[in-house]
Chain A
Amino acid sequence: MFGLCALAGVLVVLTLVDVVLQLVNNAQPAISKFGLGFVTSSRWQPNFGVEGVLALLYGTVVVSLIAVVLATPLGIAIALYLSMMAPPRVRAVVGPLVELLAAVPSIIYGFWGLVVLVPFIDKLEPGLHSALGFIPVFGPASPIGISVFTAGLVLTVMILPIISALSRDLFLTVPSELKDGAAALGATQWEVIRGIVLPTTVSGVTAAVVLGLGRALGEAIAVSFVIGDVTRIPKSLFDPGASIASEIANQFTSPVNALHTASMFYAGLVLVVIGMLTSVAARTIAGRFDVSQRVI
């Protein structure tokens, strides 16, 4: 029995090592051709030549940051509501509903984003542009509502349940003696939150946000539906773009040549390295808290 269990553990580690080996192996032609210059060149035009992943990397980071910037305050607010404010009955209903957002498959978010959200964004973006256009990133609205911004919004919805569920669990671990003590000294609920709850859980919440970021960085299908598949560096939030994962999803089944396929494996390798860095970061930041993706 011990042997079997240990074997399963070994298998997990071996799989992980083999993931990296397979990627390196299949990316070999691209690695030997481009070397490390791959991450600093932005030319990714399969029909004319692929030289670098920078434009995709940029798109990946931008959509993920949009998602994190929007989902973090929302997620923490939801977590605060569920852990400290909601009446028990409301909590028992709203908590699982928010978590159901994580159960909706990414293909459905993508399809929904394209058919429902995109027409809505198409109306929203001109307004945002005229109100905030003096800031360079809020450039001219995209003509059809497909943009980096739209992809960021879809990702926001997708990582919101991760951040809110993990933060809620963290907030529930704050000892009630501390909270009640502060309240007894006359602190209002907001002062309890700002003075007790957030400071004691800040590392765990940060780790939850980093986990959400990791999820956003790697999302392929939902992003590929709404980002527009334009492999240039987007100049504003409302320009179409592409992310590493969405570009692999779009092009992998119809590669132009062997080097194109190898380049996609190389891009995947870059994505894995970033993803592993976020996992390590989340674990390091979390400190004494046990924060990791879970299904229950």
Chain B
Amino acid sequence: MSATSETALLEGMPFDPTAPLTPSGNLRRRTAVSRFVQITATAAAVFAVAVLLIVLYGVVSRGASALSFGFVIHNPSGLAGGGIFNSLLGTLEIVAIGALIALPIGILTGLYLTEFAGPRSRTAAALRFALDIMAGLPTIIVGLFVYGLIVIPQHRQSGFAGAVALAIVMLPLMARSSQEVLLLVPGSLREAADALGVSRWRTVLSVILPAAFGGILTGAILATARAAGETAPLLICDSIGYNPFATELNPFHGVPSASMFIYQSYDLPLAQAVTRAWGAAFVLMMLILIANVLARLILARSRAKMGR
């Protein structure tokens, strides 16, 4: 409605319904502003996708030249030769130990929040708050914490210390995602189990957890993928004290990792060393992106199943 007809209405002038519905100057300005906002928002989305593609291209174009089958099955040799087998294996080991610690605790915390604490429980609110703060802890601080907790008493950095640090990074993410997925489990399932006289823990183990399995798995994969790319905690807890050219599987010794390999390569004085680091970045990023896509597919499938 244009400004003139508005004042006309206010002054009690008869409204002419036969007036043509063409935009007056004011409406044209309003649509133009709206159009401008739409274009800006679209441009912002295009920009974000472009940044992702630029980052991916940057890594792929530089990493691909280092890549070969031998690159992932050989240990590094010298400053620039060989591959990243020991680093990849180390990352897998550290992340696996971290996940073994964090996933059960995270799922149990999620279960406590949804199944055992009432909706208005103060304890649950406090716990949720603690999880939020834990998720907001800078990862380098987590590294400092584990350094004080494990590295100082043991007088040595170790893969285990790194794994504990990664567990602390994963825990709040895992608890949060389990909580969200468990809330999606229909209440009718719980009521049906109650009606059959099934005890609470039995309901949780044989009804609720199976129903939420897909979502919990998604959360677990995403939290693990996040941890696999973490560098700061490993820098503090597991960055020296291992032979960078050898495979080390004992978690109570220093264990090499892919992210530390990249971190330590960037100031080596050889162009080939940097190329090798790009190769490692490529492999690490692909593993993480594949895990993310996989997790989303699993989530979509389990959502579809739950909606049925």
Contact = CB atoms under 8 A, between A and B. Distances in A.
A230 interface: no
Interface size class of A (residues with CB under 8 A): 35 or more
Interface in A169-217: 186, 188-191, 193, 211, 214-215, 217
A268 B45 CA distance: 36
Nearest to B171: A12
Nearest to A215: B136
Interface string A15-54: 1101100110110000000000000000000000000000
A249 interface: yes
A6 B112 contact: yes
A86 B180 CA distance: 26
Contacts of B252: none
Interface stretch (B9-17, B71-79, B189-197, B230-238): B230-238
A231 interface: no
A81 B105 CA distance: 38
Best-surrounded residue of B145, B219, B289 (most CB of chain A within 10 A): B145
Interface stretch (A103-111, A137-145, A234-242): A103-111
B304 interface: no
Contacts of B133: 16, 276, 279-280
B177 A295 contact: yes
A15 B172 CA distance: 11
A104 B55 contact: yes
Contacts, number: 276
Contacts of B156: none
Interface in B166-183: 168, 171-173, 175-177, 180-181
A12 B292 contact: no
Contacts of A5: 108-109, 111-112, 115-116
B135 interface: yes
B105 A11 contact: yes
B8 interface: no
A221 B231 contact: yes
Interface in A71-121: 73-74, 77-78, 80-82, 85-86, 94, 96-98, 100-101, 103-109, 111-112, 114-116
Contacts of A264: 144
Chain B facing A: main interface SS: helix
A8 B285 CA distance: 32
B218 interface: yes
Interface stretch (B82-90, B92-100, B123-131, B242-250): B123-131
Contact of A115 (B58, B115, B123, B175): B58
B51 interface: yes
A294 interface: yes
Nearest to B199: A1
A78 B140 contact: no
Contacts of B147: 26
Interface of A: 1-2, 4-9, 11-13, 15-16, 18-19, 22-23, 25-26, 73-74, 77-78, 80-82, 85-86, 94, 96-98, 100-101, 103-109, 111-112, 114-116, 157, 160-161, 164, 186, 188-191, 193, 211, 214-215, 217-221, 225, 245, 248-249, 252-253, 264-265, 268, 271-272, 275-276, 278-280, 282-283, 292-296
Interface of B: 1, 30-31, 33-34, 36-38, 40-45, 47-49, 51-52, 54-55, 58-59, 62, 104-106, 108-109, 111-113, 115-116, 123, 126-127, 129-142, 144-145, 147-149, 152, 168, 171-173, 175-177, 180-181, 200-201, 204-205, 215, 218-219, 222-223, 225-226, 228-232, 235-236, 239-240, 259, 262-263, 266, 274, 277-278, 281, 284-285, 288-289, 292, 296, 299
